[in-house]
Structure 1
């Protein structure tokens, strides 16, 4: 950005002084004449102006779209609309790499859906990019120092310890217990239909089911959520998510980005994160202690996740507790969200739902874990699941560079003077936001990126070239990619398949009214919110009727 010579001279003067001396001079000149409430804001304003004027240029050559607020940057525009909408608009207009203005004049951020850049950050040079000073403390305050929190060598060690409990063999052994809980879920829907008008919040029921499933198969514990158990845990998680997605919810995140020390203040939003940890940490501790009481560690025979970890003895202390806390949330939240959004997509298009149900009902007998792993008997079901996972992705992770780097661009940027930019220079401390939804639905790659069209997966010739896709599962980013790809991928897939299979063979899902629309807003997962009823928070009421054949 061009600055007049006079401003440039002023910047040089500012750079010759330290921040502390400038604020001290401002304070000395005014505190004798004006009270704190006047000169205090002046000093804070001076801090932000100085930061803005002296900041070096980041991500040179990357286009920077205009934004509606200089104070709140591009993030206000993105927060006020459903997840992915604003970023996708920018990608369509400026290309899959854009430079954003961060809130509160805290610099520039690279937002990317470029597959070359994403592969470099998530896979090739993964450990040079850590979670930001905003997102990482949030993880620690809610679930502790588990796999999602740790970086570098700690991450490699913890992942190595956890990999065996999520092997295909281990996940297959969880199948029978998983079916028991899901059968209870099917019966619960029947009970609720008998008691009401058939319009049921499927998000609520599915999230209770997935938490019950995780308790049984991973911890050998019955949470009893479908019958009202673990209410505090679920309420704290849901309430905090509902606060985050409110119109002003992004402001606390912006303040934490600008002033990380705010995280130590007794503010309601910070305390809410502690409430989550306060509910899940004792639960995780009790699960561990109960398992130890019931058997000597050396004689634990269970195939569940916790038994496997205790038997190996490699993960101990607070790392074991924090990983159990992490997996409790990771094990139910994202799977319940994906299942909910898939049912919503099927409710919107009865043709797709009927075609899918016909395929599911044509299968003779009960599918085995081998059938679910291969999906050869369910090509259309496989396509529906991939399409739901593609469109309804979770998270837009932030990464901060630990060292200077150069990231490649699969889609080069043409400069105003005609030169072509094929790579972007990243400096130590720069922040990159990876747009998962934006990448999965990039019109430049998918053509009709936002359209729910499972048929695209039935013929590889109709799919985009893998050269312009990411390297995650099914060439999608929903489960991330590289060394930090979702470790519970197999478990999530198996649960999602059995859940949808069981529900769709028994019930028909439809919209509760003709003008019903649900929008997704990002928290830890994609929270469904009914348009026009935003004050009621995350929910997905759908009309459910028995399938009569």
Structure 2
């Protein structure tokens, strides 16, 4: 999200910004005085000190290429629950305690809502869909979408995933036949994810793997390109958490977000407007059939059926969030899988051996779900590389969060609970929790799929600490509670099917072997990149399996 907002206010003059900054400081002072008069106050915690009273440690968090390591240092110094200054007198609470995280996530959309900055960002980009909604609105929209993401519904999309994977195979074979040795795999994962989400989500084929250059992918990729930003953009970005309203200013990235929103809305219109679905002859019938079987098509059916679920047309259109969320997260996870398997040739060989039983055919949905090593690879990639490393929410009412073990407050008192006052922002760093040595053991930061596999004694390598996590397979990658990722079955099925085709047909190596350095590219979500590459590029040595 940082690259989206950093270049936000190019149309403002320095005088405008100076006046805005003065207003911000005065308003912050008023807000601070009002907050101090509240009867309920957030427990005072130890934590790192901000060196700048205006921005606190917010820029430090933004610049970090490894947020989990940054959090780890603070946990070692201040404990599993600590405060974090974010500027203008604002202090966030960070919780890494498993019991606290479980309580916090269980109350998501109820007691805890999206932050003001996130709400405006989501609305600007998608509209008031599932990610934006809270409480009753969220429950209603989620209930309407659930049938389209059931296991039975997702199973029907498996052929879509395989079709895209085989298109990648065909394109790569052509590249290799023409003498190419390197393949930039991340862009291909992007195109496959977009086509999969287009067909399965909207009944619309973007044709990205066929060489088309759809407007949606051009805009998505524009977001990933770093742009120069002046001091005005940086000021507005840093002030964003304290004053989200600044994100409504008519700057360049706001216009870009509206372009994405309108591009996806045009696709969704084909489903919602009958005239947009009509074609001629067999082609028109095929298009209508594809739309009817899509996720959005199923949603429209639920809306129009007798006693159907009540959703406005605006809310239905706003569910294009699934396209964006799926595009980003699936392509990132697949890219990380290829990187890790390139780093660990023995694990790549073991996975290929497991797939050997499917000579001449593709695994069924049930077979993909029942492959132990594929499952362990999937879960280990999700554990080490969650696309969203942190969950931030703001308390809409006073709350008391229970803790697994006693902590010492800034006042020197011992407590087993954390008081959170209304208006406090709470952060749950899921990337850190997913690889905490206290929970996962001394090899927590290693890519070790074998930890998930049961031995002869019937036990796996997952410690009791990690098993206390209630998320998907003891992971918080898909969050938990009311916002547990609705599309997790879709994402996992897509991941496994695509990986099965690629690993059966190609081998992968890093350009400089295991010493190849992997960096991070800041876009809407952090993406992997090979050091020295301009942008989120991951060129790998790809060889055909004979």
TM-score tier after normalising by the smaller chain length: 0.7 to 0.9
* 1:457 and 2:439 correspond: no
Deviations 1:224-243 (A, max 9, x none): 01133353212322322445
Tell me whether 166-175 or 466-475 shows the greater mean CA deviation: 466-475
Map 1:365-376 onto structure 2 (within 5 A).
365-373=361-369, 375=370
**Number of aligned pairs?**
505
Aligned partners of 1:471 and 1:173: how far apart in 2?
A: 28
Q: What residue number does 2:248 align with? A: 264
Q: What residue number does 1:188 align with? A: 171
Deviations 1:466-513 (A, max 9, x none): 576321110101111111111111111111001111000111111112
Aligned partners of 1:36 and 1:352: how far apart in 2?
A: 57
* 1:356 and 2:356 correspond: no
Q: What residue number does 2:545 align with? A: 547
**How far apart are 1:209 and its partner, in Å?**
0.4
Aligned partners of 2:18 and 2:318: how far apart in 1?
A: 45
Aligned partners of 2:218 and 2:30: how far apart in 1?
A: 43
Map 1:16-55 onto structure 2 (within 5 A).
none
Aligned partners of 1:250 and 1:393: how far apart in 2?
A: 27
Aligned partners of 1:238 and 1:462: how far apart in 2?
A: 39
The gaps in structure 2 that reach 5 residues or longer are: 1-14
Tell me whether 510-519 or 429-438 shows the greater mean CA deviation: 510-519
Tell me whether 114-123 or 462-471 shows the greater mean CA deviation: 462-471
Aligned partners of 2:438 and 2:199: how far apart in 1?
A: 43
Aligned partners of 1:246 and 1:92: how far apart in 2?
A: 35
**How far apart are 1:345 and its partner, in Å?**
0.8
**How far apart are 1:283 and its partner, in Å?**
2.6
**How far apart are 1:101 and its partner, in Å?**
0.6
Contact 2:43 2:409 in 1 (8 A): no
Contact 2:107 2:482 in 1 (8 A): no
Aligned partners of 2:230 and 2:452: how far apart in 1?
A: 36
Instruction: Report 1 or 2 for greater relative contact order, CA contacts < 8 Å, sequence distance ≥ 6.
Output: 2
1:176 to 159, 165, 175: 159
Contact 2:398 2:422 in 1 (8 A): yes
Map 1:123-202 onto structure 2 (within 5 A).
123-124=106-107, 126-195=109-178, 197-202=180-185
**How far apart are 1:436 and its partner, in Å?**
1.5
2:435 to 437, 441, 445: 441
Map 1:52-451 onto structure 2 (within 5 A).
56=36, 59-84=42-67, 85-103=69-87, 105-124=88-107, 126-195=109-178, 197-243=180-226, 252-289=236-273, 292-293=277-278, 302-312=292-302, 313=304, 314=309, 315-323=311-319, 325-363=320-358, 365-373=361-369, 375=370, 378-395=371-388, 396-415=390-409, 419-447=413-441, 448-451=443-446
Tell me whether 252-261 or 430-439 shows the greater mean CA deviation: 252-261
**How far apart are 1:186 and its partner, in Å?**
1.5
TM-score by length of 1: 0.84
Aligned partners of 1:67 and 1:521: how far apart in 2?
A: 25
Deviations 1:19-38 (A, max 9, x none): xxxxxxxxxxxxxxxx9999
Distance 1:289 1:201, change over 3 A: farther
Tell me whether 283-292 or 241-250 shows the greater mean CA deviation: 241-250
Aligned partners of 2:16 and 2:225: how far apart in 1?
A: 36
Deviations 1:93-148 (A, max 9, x none): 33332211114x15000122221122112115651111000001100100111111
Deviations 1:234-274 (A, max 9, x none): 23223224459999987544222232222232222332322
Aligned partners of 2:60 and 2:230: how far apart in 1?
A: 10
Provide the secondary structure at the position in 2 that maps to 1:134.
helix
Q: What residue number does 1:499 align with? A: 498
**How far apart are 1:196 and its partner, in Å?**
5.3
Q: Which structure would you say has the larger Rg? A: 1
Deviations 1:296-326 (A, max 9, x none): 9xx9794321332222224451111111x21
**How far apart are 1:423 and its partner, in Å?**
1.0
Aligned partners of 1:491 and 1:36: how far apart in 2?
A: 47
Provide the secondary structure at the position in 2 that maps to 1:463.
coil
Distance 1:235 1:37, change over 3 A: closer
Tell me whether 70-79 or 150-159 shows the greater mean CA deviation: 70-79
Q: What residue number does 2:468 align with? A: 469
Aligned partners of 1:111 and 1:292: how far apart in 2?
A: 48
Aligned partners of 1:467 and 1:177: how far apart in 2?
A: 35
Distance 1:80 1:168, change over 3 A: same
The gaps in structure 1 that reach 5 residues or longer are: 1-34
Distance 1:196 1:472, change over 3 A: farther
Contact 1:402 1:429 in 2 (8 A): yes
Provide the secondary structure at the position in 2 that maps to 1:258.
coil
TM-score by length of 2: 0.84
Contact 2:59 2:238 in 1 (8 A): no
Provide the secondary structure at the position in 2 that maps to 1:471.
coil
